[in-house]
Amino acid sequence: DAGVIQSPRHEVTEMGQEVTLRCKPISGHNSLFWYRQTMMRGLELLIYFNNNVPIDDSGMPEDRFSAKMPNASFSTLKIQPSEPRDSAVYFCASRGRTTPTGELFFGEGSRLTVL
Protein backbone atom coordinates (compact mmCIF):
# COMPACT_ATOMS: atom_id res chain seq x y z
CA ASP A 1 0.00 0.00 0.00
CA ALA A 2 1.30 3.48 -0.85
CA GLY A 3 0.32 4.96 2.49
CA VAL A 4 -1.24 8.36 2.97
CA ILE A 5 -0.17 10.68 0.16
CA GLN A 6 -0.02 14.44 0.59
CA SER A 7 0.79 17.17 -1.88
CA PRO A 8 2.51 19.48 -2.22
CA ARG A 9 5.38 18.57 0.11
CA HIS A 10 6.50 22.16 0.26
CA GLU A 11 4.75 25.38 -0.66
CA VAL A 12 5.97 28.94 -0.38
CA THR A 13 3.43 31.61 -1.12
CA GLU A 14 2.75 35.25 -0.47
CA MET A 15 0.28 36.61 2.01
CA GLY A 16 -3.19 36.84 0.54
CA GLN A 17 -2.78 33.97 -1.89
CA GLU A 18 -5.00 30.91 -1.86
CA VAL A 19 -3.38 27.67 -0.73
CA THR A 20 -4.78 24.20 -1.42
CA LEU A 21 -3.33 21.14 0.26
CA ARG A 22 -4.30 17.69 -0.91
CA CYS A 23 -4.53 14.28 0.73
CA LYS A 24 -5.16 10.76 -0.50
CA PRO A 25 -5.89 8.41 2.42
CA ILE A 26 -5.06 4.74 2.50
CA SER A 27 -7.56 2.81 0.42
CA GLY A 28 -10.35 1.41 2.57
CA HIS A 29 -9.79 3.79 5.48
CA ASN A 30 -12.97 5.54 6.53
CA SER A 31 -11.65 8.32 8.79
CA LEU A 32 -9.46 11.19 7.68
CA PHE A 33 -7.83 13.83 9.86
CA TRP A 34 -6.14 17.13 9.10
CA TYR A 35 -3.56 18.39 11.61
CA ARG A 36 -1.33 21.40 11.85
CA GLN A 37 2.04 21.33 13.57
CA THR A 38 3.95 24.39 14.76
CA MET A 39 6.85 24.77 17.14
CA MET A 40 4.73 26.75 19.57
CA ARG A 41 1.59 24.63 19.66
CA GLY A 42 2.68 21.16 18.58
CA LEU A 43 0.16 19.01 16.72
CA GLU A 44 -3.37 20.37 16.57
CA LEU A 45 -6.41 18.69 15.10
CA LEU A 46 -8.10 20.93 12.55
CA ILE A 47 -10.92 18.74 11.27
CA TYR A 48 -11.81 15.12 10.81
CA PHE A 49 -14.13 13.20 8.52
CA ASN A 50 -15.87 9.86 8.95
CA ASN A 51 -17.15 8.29 5.73
CA ASN A 52 -16.48 11.58 3.90
CA VAL A 53 -18.66 13.57 6.32
CA PRO A 54 -17.07 16.30 8.47
CA ILE A 55 -17.59 15.30 12.11
CA ASP A 56 -15.72 17.96 14.05
CA ASP A 57 -14.26 21.13 12.62
CA SER A 58 -13.90 22.96 15.92
CA GLY A 59 -10.15 23.06 15.44
CA MET A 60 -10.34 25.04 12.22
CA PRO A 61 -8.81 28.41 13.15
CA GLU A 62 -11.19 30.68 11.31
CA ASP A 63 -13.29 31.13 8.21
CA ARG A 64 -10.23 31.40 6.03
CA PHE A 65 -9.81 27.64 6.44
CA SER A 66 -12.04 25.12 4.73
CA ALA A 67 -11.80 21.38 4.13
CA LYS A 68 -13.66 19.06 1.82
CA MET A 69 -13.78 15.35 1.21
CA PRO A 70 -15.71 14.82 -2.01
CA ASN A 71 -15.03 11.07 -2.03
CA ALA A 72 -13.35 8.36 0.01
CA SER A 73 -10.03 8.76 -1.74
CA PHE A 74 -9.44 12.50 -1.70
CA SER A 75 -9.54 15.48 0.63
CA THR A 76 -8.45 19.11 0.39
CA LEU A 77 -7.60 21.75 2.94
CA LYS A 78 -7.88 25.27 1.61
CA ILE A 79 -6.66 28.54 3.11
CA GLN A 80 -7.99 31.71 1.53
CA PRO A 81 -6.52 34.26 2.00
CA SER A 82 -3.33 32.93 3.53
CA GLU A 83 -1.45 34.80 6.27
CA PRO A 84 2.11 34.45 7.61
CA ARG A 85 0.78 32.93 10.85
CA ASP A 86 -0.56 30.01 8.80
CA SER A 87 3.01 28.88 8.19
CA ALA A 88 3.24 25.34 9.58
CA VAL A 89 3.44 21.72 8.58
CA TYR A 90 0.03 20.32 7.72
CA PHE A 91 -0.42 16.59 8.19
CA CYS A 92 -3.15 14.36 6.92
CA ALA A 93 -3.81 11.01 8.60
CA SER A 94 -6.24 8.18 7.99
CA ARG A 95 -7.72 5.45 10.13
CA GLY A 96 -9.49 2.35 8.93
CA ARG A 97 -12.37 0.10 9.76
CA THR A 98 -9.94 -2.75 10.25
CA THR A 99 -8.13 -0.93 13.04
CA PRO A 100 -10.74 -0.65 15.78
CA THR A 101 -8.14 0.61 18.19
CA GLY A 102 -7.83 3.66 16.01
CA GLU A 103 -4.23 3.48 14.81
CA LEU A 104 -3.40 6.45 12.67
CA PHE A 105 -1.32 6.46 9.53
CA PHE A 106 0.23 9.79 8.69
CA GLY A 107 1.22 11.36 5.43
CA GLU A 108 4.62 13.00 5.16
CA GLY A 109 3.17 16.45 5.63
CA SER A 110 2.96 19.63 3.60
CA ARG A 111 5.27 22.39 4.78
CA LEU A 112 3.64 25.75 4.13
CA THR A 113 5.50 29.04 4.30
CA VAL A 114 3.50 32.22 3.86
CA LEU A 115 5.66 35.29 3.30
74 lies in the binding site for another protein (CB under 8 A): no
Which residue number, 45 or 72, has a Cβ lying nearer to another protein?
45
Amino acid symbol at 106 = F
Half-sphere exposure of 73 (CA within 13 A, CB side): 3
Which residue number, 38 or 80, has a Cβ lying nearer to another protein?
38
Which residue number, 81 or 105, has a Cβ lying nearer to another protein?
105
Name the one range near another protein by CB under 8 A: 13-21, 35-43, 70-78, 80-88.
Answer: 35-43
Closest CA to 108 of 15, 24, 1, 12: 24
State the nearest-atom distance from the C-beta of 37 to another protein, in Å: 9
Backbone conformation region of residue 53, classed left if phi is above 0, alpha if psi is from -120 to 50, else beta: beta
Closest CA to 65 of 74, 54, 73: 54
Contact positions vs another protein (CB under 8 A) = 33, 35, 42-45, 48, 55-56, 89, 91, 93, 99, 101-106, 108-109, 111
